[in-house]
Amino acid sequence: MSETKHSPLFVTLEGGEGTGKSTVIERLSNDLRERGYDVLTTREPGGSKLGEQIRVWLLHHKPDVKVGDYAELLLFLAARTQHLEEIILPALNHGKVVLCDRFNDSSVAYQGAARGLGMEAVEKQCELACRGVSPDITLFMDVDPKIGLERTRKTVKASASEGQVDRIESEELAFHENVLQAMRLLAKKHPERIKTIDASQPLDDMYTHCLEVVLDALEVHRV
């Protein structure tokens, strides 16, 4: 539908491991393209070439390479700044719908809350790194981490090409519970932006809710 004009929309998906973010992004991108939207899908850490290199340092580096908590935050933010400048902002400037798997809320929940660097302090650093750019809408996939981690482990086992569990994923359950509580706090703090999705529902029901939220947001941002 090349004639269709629509405004850019920056959508992020947030939540713990195995909460369905990648699955929802893939389905959303297909459905939105069928409806004539120009869609870019991307992820964090990653997105740009530099970001993908940083992803390896952060998630899959050798066990003898130490990454302190603050270094970890700065690496996520370095990847994000590059991702924003090189990929996300140009796509938005071309009027695309950008669907991004994780963004600032992950840093606030994982590094700010679960690593203990402070949620507000990390929120401020994220604002600086992104020069105030923020998603238009965020789908927060809310489910008990035990369920999410179990789903991920099953997926990894079923996939011959995937490696092992990554460095952050292998943190103990309490860490992932802290992440969930922090994301719930963020959803309360930013109710206009962050929409909570019950990710314990069957996949199709969960997806239907996500699609409704995004279509509503597209309607609100319509040219």
Our CB check for ligand Z5A shows the closer of 21 and 96 to be 21
Among all chains, which residue has been given the structure tokens 């940083």? 54
At residue 168, what are phi and psi to the nearest 5 degrees?
-80, -40
Which residues of this protein are in contact with ligand Z5A, per CB under 6 A? 15, 17-23, 44-45, 59, 76, 101-102, 106-107, 110-111, 151-152, 155, 166, 168-169, 199, 201-203, 206
Could you give the CA distance from residue 212 to residue 19 in angstroms, rounded to a whole number? Answer: 18
The minimum distance between CB 37 and ligand Z5A, in angstroms, equals 21
Our CB check for ligand Z5A shows the closer of 19 and 42 to be 19
The minimum distance between CB 203 and ligand Z5A, in angstroms, equals 4
The minimum distance between CB 219 and ligand Z5A, in angstroms, equals 25
Our CB check for ligand Z5A shows the closer of 5 and 66 to be 66
Given phi > 0 = left and psi -120 to 50 = alpha, else beta, which region is 10?
beta
Our CB check for ligand Z5A shows the closer of 1 and 203 to be 203
What token pair was written down for 80?
């994000």
What token pair was written down for 102?
């994780």
What token pair was written down for 90?
């140009």
Could you give the CA distance from residue 181 to residue 134 in angstroms, rounded to a whole number? Answer: 21
The minimum distance between CB 166 and ligand Z5A, in angstroms, equals 6
Our CB check for ligand Z5A shows the closer of 96 and 102 to be 102
* C-alpha pair distances (Å), 91 with each of 5, 41, 43, 201: 15, 10, 14, 32
Given phi > 0 = left and psi -120 to 50 = alpha, else beta, which region is 42?
beta
